[in-house]
Amino acid sequence: MVHGETNRIRGQAAARLLLGVGLWVCAGIAVADTPVAADDPACPSQDFTHFLQRFADPADDRVRLRYTSDPLEYEVPMHTVRDDHEGLAPTHVVLEQGAARLKRFSYRYLAAFNLFVPSPVSRDPAALEHMRAGTYNAPTRIEAIDGNGQRVTFGSDAERDTYTFARRYGCWMLTRASNLRD
């Protein structure tokens, strides 16, 4: 009887182990292939420039919400974090989570003018008039990095914001925002 009981317990343990491994594998597949809800946009484009225009659409933040890493790396100058920054690294990286991470991408694409502008400008009637007159200039530079990513820089050398996008889950994902203005 004892021998039969031991085999039954071993069989149950093996079944639990297989079930656990199966659940673990399924969970890994679910994370790797996260299903898209009906109201979530599919990747708007495999062409990065077109993707970025949709990502920065002022009328629809679903693309920004879906394709911004959580957490998002946010880099700032160390002197904006600590007064006693002497001898420390020049920058500091914070991991932004939840809704806070969405505030770190502050540019919008205005299709009518074919340009990216700081978010407040996209709602400013005076700034929109300057754009109509052709007197508004906000430089945008897009460059490929690491063979699998894109770096977007808005603004001039003195005042610029930089965003890093990587290919993940079959689309582009904002992974890092850098605001290194003094």
Q: What is the CATH number of the domain that holds 147?
A: 3.10.450
Whole domain around residue 74: which residue ranges? 48-179
Which among 169, 128, 168 is positioned nearest to 150, based on CA atoms? 168
Instruction: With respect to residue 81, please indicate whether it lies within any of the assigned structural domains.
Output: yes
Instruction: With respect to residue 54, please indicate whether it lies within any of the assigned structural domains.
Output: yes
What are residue 17's phi and psi, to 5 degrees?
Answer: -60, -45
146: left (phi over 0), alpha (psi -120 to 50) or beta: left
Which among 114, 152, 153, 151 is positioned nearest to 136, based on CA atoms? 114
Residues of the chain short of pLDDT 70, as ranges, are 1-41, 78-90, 135-138, 157-158, 180-182
Same domain, 93 and 117: yes
Question: What total number of domains does the chain contain?
Answer: 2
pLDDT for the residue numbered 30: 34
Which among 145, 178, 174 is positioned nearest to 69, based on CA atoms? 174
pLDDT for the residue numbered 25: 35
What's the chain's length in residues?
182
Expressed in angstroms, the distance from the first to the final Cα of the chain is 79
Instruction: With respect to residue 166, please indicate whether it lies within any of the assigned structural domains.
Output: yes
pLDDT for the residue numbered 165: 97
